[in-house]
């Protein structure tokens, strides 16, 4: 919990609420609860090395599944290798309803930095590494992470790396592919190459640049996975709020009995039926507090106040989006 949330609300909503209240949407091979889990935080400093408390990390993964999490994102370059190993130790053999999502497209440098790894041989190696470390014969979903810093993707063709993943899909090593850190133009290009299991990008109360993309994907029946920054919490730590916005967010949190971060996640779930979240956590209490956001109910007044934070177009939750995602020929089991 952030310092701000401690100051603004004394009664955070915590588990045992399950994530089933987050609603459901199809993600890759099956329909899942929309609130998932992102494993990136289960590492050491700078996302390198093992976590400070390995037992706590394992407990977090097991508790997530107990509370109804049905999609977990991991990657060989988290650690590197660390999160994959933790996921396998904690959850293998995996529950039938769990979708394991592996992110590829980067590699760790000797100094702990990051470099793109988008060539066909690099992507093939990454998929095989994920398979070996996770103890799987096939990956449910592989997400191609394109380069770029912060909120700014690099506008370049993704055809070559995505086609490399499609080849692995045709070989039976990957069931579904998605893309991450991409522009709307890149999403259009990707859809011309293969059906997409998901699109991931930075999106929150004050970063609404993808409003149109969220709505378009909802009409297509494609999940939008909201992420931001290295925390991969989807809480966004409500950075960049003005004092007035902070006061509004705190007021909504007090009215609904949650923390500002929980309200930020509840707003995302209300924004569109295709919105998926992957909050991260390093302890069970932190996990339970994050997942309990799925139980918050925001009324029209709350939603209107939060929608006003947008500096771009700010449709109300679900605006211009069908209540049931359209079935398309692009989305297949």
What is the pLDDT, as a whole number, of residue 126? 97
Give the mean model confidence (pLDDT) for residues 272-287.
95
Tokens read off for 292: 């309990």
* pLDDT higher than 60, residue 320: no
Burial level of 73, CB count in 10 A (0-12/13-18/19+)?
buried
pLDDT tens digit sequence for 103-154: 999 999 988 888 999 999 999 999 999 999 999 999 999 999 999 766 678 8
What is the pLDDT, as a whole number, of residue 231? 33
In sequence order, which residues have a C-beta less than 8 Å from that of residue 80 and are 6 or more positions away?
48, 107, 108
pTM above 0.95, yes or no: no
Give the mean model confidence (pLDDT) for residues 324-333.
26
Quote the CA–CA distance of 226 and 47 in Å, as a whole number.
20
Note if 78 is an active site residue.
Answer: yes
What is the pLDDT, as a whole number, of residue 302? 97
Q: Strand, helix or coil at 160?
A: helix
Beta strands 275-277; 224-227: pairing state: parallel
What are the C-alpha distances in Å from 31 to residues 15, 81, 92, 174, 322? 23, 28, 21, 18, 17
In sequence order, which residues have a C-beta less than 8 Å from that of residue 192 and are 6 or more positions away?
none
What is the pLDDT, as a whole number, of residue 311? 57
What is the pLDDT, as a whole number, of residue 46? 86
Q: What percentage of the chain reaches a pLDDT higher than 70? A: 83
Band of residue 309 on the pLDDT scale cut at 50, 70, 90: confident
- All domains of the chain, ordered by start, with CATH? 24-238+274-282 (3.20.20.100)
Give the mean model confidence (pLDDT) for residues 239-254.
87
């Amino acid at each position: 919990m952030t310092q701000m949330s401690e100051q603004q609300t004394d009664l955070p909503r915590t588990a045992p609420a399950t994530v089933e209240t987050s609603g459901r949407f199809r993600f890759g091979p099956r329909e899942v609860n929309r609130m998932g889990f992102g494993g990136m935080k289960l590492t050491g400093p700078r996302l390198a090395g093992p976590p400070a408390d390995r037992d706590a990390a394992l407990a977090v993964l097991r508790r997530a599944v107990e509370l109804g999490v049905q999609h977990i994102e991991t990657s060989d370059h988290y650690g590197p290798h660390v999160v994959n190993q933790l996921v396998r130790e904690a959850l293998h053999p995996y529950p039938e309803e769990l979708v394991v999502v592996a992110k590829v497209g980067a590699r760790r440098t000797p100094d702990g930095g990051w470099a793109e790894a988008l060539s066909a041989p690099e992507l093939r190696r990454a998929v095989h590494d994920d398979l070996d470390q996770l103890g799987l014969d096939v990956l449910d979903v592989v997400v191609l992470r394109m380069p770029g810093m912060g909120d700014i993707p690099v506008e370049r063709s993704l055809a070559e790396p995505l086609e490399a993943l499609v080849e692995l899909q045709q070989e039976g090593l990957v069931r579904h592919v998605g893309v991450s850190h991409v522009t709307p133009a890149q999403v259009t290009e990707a859809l011309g190459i293969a059906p997409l299991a998901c699109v991931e990008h930075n999106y929150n109360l004050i970063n609404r640049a993808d409003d149109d993309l969220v709505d378009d994907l909802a009409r297509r029946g494609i999940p939008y996975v909201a992420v931001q920054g290295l925390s991969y919490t989807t809480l966004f730590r409500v950075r960049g709020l003005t004092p007035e916005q902070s006061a509004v967010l705190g007021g909504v949190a007090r009215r609904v009995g949650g923390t500002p971060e929980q309200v930020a996640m509840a707003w995302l779930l209300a924004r569109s039926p295709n919105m998926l979240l992957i909050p991260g956590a390093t302890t069970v209490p932190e996990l339970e507090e994050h997942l309990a956001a799925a139980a918050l109910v925001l009324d029209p007044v709350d939603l209107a106040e939060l929608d006003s934070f947008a500096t771009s177009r700010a449709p109300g939750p679900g605006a211009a989006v069908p209540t049931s995602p359209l079935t398309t020929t692009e989305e297949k089991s």
